[in-house]
Amino acid sequence: MLSDRDEEGEYTKERERMVRSQIAARGIRCERVLAAMRAVPRHVFVPGHLLGSAYRDSPLPIGHGQTISQPYIVAYMTQMLELEGTDRVLEIGTGSGYQAAILSQLAAQVISVERFPSLAKEASQVLESLGCQNVRVEVGDGSLGWPAEAPYDAIIVTAAAPHIPQPLQEQLAEGGRLVAPVGPRWTQELIRIRRTGDQYHSDSLMGVAFVPLIGEHGWQDRGSVRRWE
């Protein structure tokens, strides 16, 4: 059996390897993003029975049919937000809290919204245990954004909607960046929008596959649709 300290050392090595072979090797160059990916222990965000897979090049299930995204996608979306240390960031889809922890390293404040109260609670506990004091997890329909704290310098959506939810665009600050997967239920395009005054400039970045954004400006919750409807 490894002692706790040896185990942590092993995880640190696995994380180094992850950053080198999955992230830097695929072209992520931003040193701040690479440092955040090296610093945040991904294994504390995955379910216990998947500890051995925490640094794999893939998404992993976290319960409620949801997933923690592939490390490369987390790094790529983060890089596309072009964060500065003074930025205020909104994340939609807290899930495990891993992406929020990465954002917390790179921005002044992070608000993360999750629709499942149990995921939100677990994520906040893990974030607190890591000392991520600049992250606040809220429960609600993130397709409406989080108007109380708007505007945001950056908004990241980690669940996919048929279109960019209008409230999110409205909650972007001047010069703000929004990164979100948009498209049909099973495969989508990652879109980046930049706000300049009242203009919104949109770029398509790459093909992706995210779980659905369920809410007023996203998909309907299939679980709540009755069979005879």
Residue choice 46, 78, 114, 122 for contact with ligand SAH (CB under 6 A): 114
Q: How far apart are CA 98 and CA 122, in angstroms?
A: 11
- Residue pair 153/226 in contact (Cβ under 8 Å)? The answer is no
CB of 146 to ligand SAH, least distance (A): 10
Q: Which is nearer to ligand SAH, 119 or 190 (CB)?
A: 119
Beta bridge partners of 112: 91, 137
Q: Which is nearer to ligand SAH, 163 or 175 (CB)?
A: 163
Binding flag, residue 158, ligand SAH (CB under 6 A): yes
DSSP H stretches of helix in the chain:
4-18, 31-39, 71-80, 98-106, 117-129, 166-170
Nearest to 113 by CA among 152, 55, 73, 82: 152
Interaction mask 37-66, ligand SAH, x per CB under 6 A = -----------------------------x
Q: How far apart are CA 157 and CA 147, in angstroms?
A: 15
Between the alpha carbon of residue 228 and those of residues 132, 178, 185, 215, 220, the distances in Å are 46, 38, 22, 21, 16
Binding flag, residue 208, ligand SAH (CB under 6 A): no
- Residue pair 153/174 in contact (Cβ under 8 Å)? The answer is no
Binding flag, residue 143, ligand SAH (CB under 6 A): yes
Residue choice 178, 180, 193, 211 for contact with ligand SAH (CB under 6 A): 211
Residue 69 annotated among the catalytic residues of the structure? yes
Structural tokens at position 24? 């830097």
User: 195: helix, coil or strand?
Assistant: strand
- Residue pair 54/92 in contact (Cβ under 8 Å)? The answer is no
Binding flag, residue 67, ligand SAH (CB under 6 A): yes
Interaction mask 70-109, ligand SAH, x per CB under 6 A = ----------------------xx-xx-xx----------
Binding flag, residue 69, ligand SAH (CB under 6 A): yes
Binding flag, residue 155, ligand SAH (CB under 6 A): no
CB of 98 to ligand SAH, least distance (A): 4
Report, as residue numbers or ranges, the catalytic residues.
69
Binding site for ligand SAH (CB under 6 A): 66-69, 92-93, 95-96, 98-99, 113-116, 119, 141-143, 158-159, 211, 213-215, 218
